Each structure stands twice: as C-alpha cells, then as structure tokens.
Amino acid sequence: MTIDDFIRESIRENESEVKAMIMQKKQERISELLDYSGLGKRFRDKRFDDYVVRGENREAFDKAVEFSKRFPNCPRGLLISGPVGTGKSRLAAPITNSLIDRLYTVICRDITDIVSMIKSTYGKKTDLEEREMVNMLTDDVDLLVIDDLGKEQSTENTLVLLYQIVNRLYCDQKPVVITTNYTGQALVGKLGERGSSIVSRLTEMCDAVAISGKDWRLTND
C-alpha cells in the first residue's frame, strides 16, 4: 500500500467513525425529545408510512404530510376535526414524530394534560410558574400539538389559560396543530365565554382538516 492509499483509507475510516458518532448523538437527542414531547408509547413509533389512509381521509392525510415537509416554513397550522375514534390523534402522531426525527422540539399533549401541567404550579411561590409554563408551551418549543380540544372542563381559569396559549401563538405567528371532536359553533359552545375569541384565532391560524369514518378502536382496523 502506498502512502497515498494509506491516507485515503485512514480518511475513509475516520469518516465512518464520525458518521457513526453523529448518528448515535442524533438518536440520543431524538430519545430526549420524545420524552420531552409527552407523546405516549402508543404513538411513539407511528409514521406516515404505516398510516392506513381511507379514501375519505386522503385530503387530511396529504395536508398533514405537506405540513410536516414544509415545517417550519408553514404560514398556517392544522385544525383536525372529526368524530371520536376516526384517527385524529393517530394523524397528529406522525407529524410529531417526523419533526422530532429532524430534531425539532415538539410538545404533543392532551388538552387536559396541558391544563393539569400548568395547574400543578399553583400553590407554590407566585404566578411566575404559570407564566413560565405558558412560555414553555409557546416560546420554548418549535411546535405545540394540542390533542382533544374541547374535552377539558371549561372552567373560567382553564379557558383563560387556553386563551393565553392560543393568543400568544397567534401574536407570534407560530403554527399550531389542534385535534378536536368539534367544529365551528359546537367548539365555540364547548369553550364557553372565550370560545368565540379562541376559535376565531384558530380559524385564522389554521387550515381546517376534516376526518370522517368509523371508530378505528371498535373496528380494529
């Protein structure tokens, strides 16, 4: 082997080692982001490739894929609505996972979990903790995914928190992904006195994505 051959071989070996180290670090970071996201075990391995697309939901699926591909250059988020069990959370999961695979920071949580997480700060030092939690959900993550909007108990305090989160994202022009069983005026009604303000902002911020069909949990598809 000539000295030139030796040098080239050494470079190839070093490149392989560096690539392996980078991939290991990336996988470690992805694991950290998955833990941070709040995405449950049921959805952690869900990808667009294994999503069963029913004919009536092809448009919804395509919008979700396009949003993920374009992120963060998305002028609008997604408001995914449909009956119980039609796959709204199942569609939000691959959005979350595809962005985490690209090392974006995503929080994907049920609305009741988000509210409980914020309320867990109550009774401590000051209201600072609440503001810090709202800041984390709006400023410190690349994308917030709110699952099952309208499922929460609509107390005045809960609605104020929800309005703060939505309004902050609205003012900062950050996209958001929402899933809900309700549409239009039904969602306004579920969100009480602040329903009109919240839904008005979400309508301006998001593209409407409708999902229909039978309850996947009952059909075992």
pLDDT digits 0-9 by tens, 61-109: 999 999 999 999 998 999 999 988 788 889 999 999 999 888 898 988 8
Provide the β-strand partners of residue 178.
79, 146
Q: Is the pLDDT of residue 158 over 50?
A: yes
pLDDT tens figures, 30-43: 667 667 677 777 77
Q: Is the pLDDT of residue 60 over 60?
A: yes
Amino acid identity for residue 74 in this structure: C
Q: Which residues contact 206 (CB under 8 A, 6 or more apart)?
A: 76, 77, 78, 79, 175, 176, 177, 178
- Distance between CA 88 and CA 24 in Å, rounded? 32
Q: Quickly state the pLDDT bin for 221 (edges 50, 70, 90).
A: very low
Going by C-alpha positions, the residue among 167, 164, 155 that lies closest to residue 191 is 155
More confident call, 215 vs 190: 190
Contact 111, 151 (CB under 8 A): yes
Contact 146, 179 (CB under 8 A): yes
Q: Quickly state the pLDDT bin for 1 (edges 50, 70, 90).
A: low
